[in-house]
Amino acid sequence: MKIRTSLLLFSILATWVLSIAGEKLTDMRPCNFPAIYNFGDSNSDTGGISAAFYPTISPCGETFFHRPVGRGCDGRLMIDLIANHLGLPYLSAYLDSIGANFRHGANFATGGATIRRQNESVFLNGVSPFPIDIQVVQFTQFRKRTSWLYKQAKKRSERRNLPRPQDFSKALYTFDIGQNDLAVGFRTMSNKRFKKEIRDIINQFAKAVRDLYKQGARTFWIHNTGPIGCLAVTLRDPDHWKPGYYGCVESQNDMAKEFNRRLKRKVSKLREKLPLAAITYVDLYTAKYKLINNAKKEGFLDKAKICCGYHEDKVHVWCGNKAKINGTKIYAGSCEDPSLYISWDGVHYTEAANHWVVNHFINGSLSYPHVPITRACHRL
- Provide mean pLDDT across the span 289-305: 96
Dist. CA 350–CA 339, nearest whole Å? 7
176 or 27: whose pLDDT is higher? 176
For residue 10, pLDDT over 60 is answered with no
For residue 311, name the pLDDT band (cuts at 50, 70, 90): confident
Q: Domains for the chain: give ranges and CATH numbers.
A: 34-293 (3.40.50)
**20 versus 296: which is more confidently predicted?**
296
CA 153, CA 57: separation in Å to the nearest integer? 37
- Residue positions annotated with a catalytic role: 42, 345, 348
The confidence score (pLDDT) of residue 24 equals 60
| Residue 310 β-bridge partners | 317
User: What digits encode the pLDDT tens for the residues 75-101?
Assistant: 999 999 999 999 999 999 999 989 999
Each residue's pLDDT tens digit, 39-70: 999 999 999 999 999 999 999 999 999 999 99
Supply the pTM of this predicted model.
0.92
Residue 8 confidence (pLDDT)? 56
Tens digit of pLDDT for each residue in 137-154? 999 999 999 999 999 999
Note the pLDDT of residue 238: 61
d(CA 180, CA 41): 8
Q: Are 202 and 249 in contact (CB under 8 A)?
A: no
Per-residue confidence (pLDDT) for residue 237, from 0 to 100? 72
Q: In 3-state terms, what secondary structure has residue 93?
A: strand
* pLDDT tens digits, 352-370: 999 999 999 999 999 999 9
- Residue 141 contacts residue 215 (beta carbons within 8 Å): no
Largest CA distance in the chain: 76
Q: At 259, is the pLDDT very low, low, confident or very high (cuts 50, 70, 90)?
A: very high
Please give the Cα distance from 161 to 142 (Å, whole number). Answer: 13
**Confidence band, pLDDT 50/70/90 cuts, at residue 244:** very low
Of the pLDDT bands very low, low, confident and very high (cuts 50, 70, 90), residue 14 is very low
